[in-house]
Amino acid sequence: MEIEIHRDIPLKKGDCFVLCTDGLAAVAEREIHRIVQNLSAQDACRHLVEISRRLGSSDNATVIVLKLMTDMS
């Protein structure tokens, strides 16, 4: 496993990060983006896992959504 470390990345209020397993692969990127932008982090996680199940994913799906509530500068 290779790990890349990036420093001094400007993070600002409203930035979002989605960490997930490959069980979410069936969900389109634009759908993930729409859900994360419009729901709380907790609700987005639940909704994304449910969509993955409805799409018939045979793999488990784990999702973490991080939303920055303040600037990090």
Q: Is the pLDDT of residue 10 over 90?
A: no
- CB contact at 8 A, 53 and 61: yes
pLDDT at position 73, please?
Answer: 62
pLDDT at position 42, please?
Answer: 96
Is the pTM here over 0.85, yes or no? Answer: no
Helix, strand or coil for residue 44? helix
- CB contact at 8 A, 67 and 38: no
The gap from C-alpha 38 to its chain's centroid, in whole angstroms, comes to 12
pLDDT at position 62, please?
Answer: 93
Model confidence pLDDT, tens digit, residues 28-48:
999 999 999 999 999 999 999
d(CA 51, CA 46): 9
Q: Is the pLDDT of residue 3 over 90?
A: no
Average pLDDT in the 62-67 region? 95
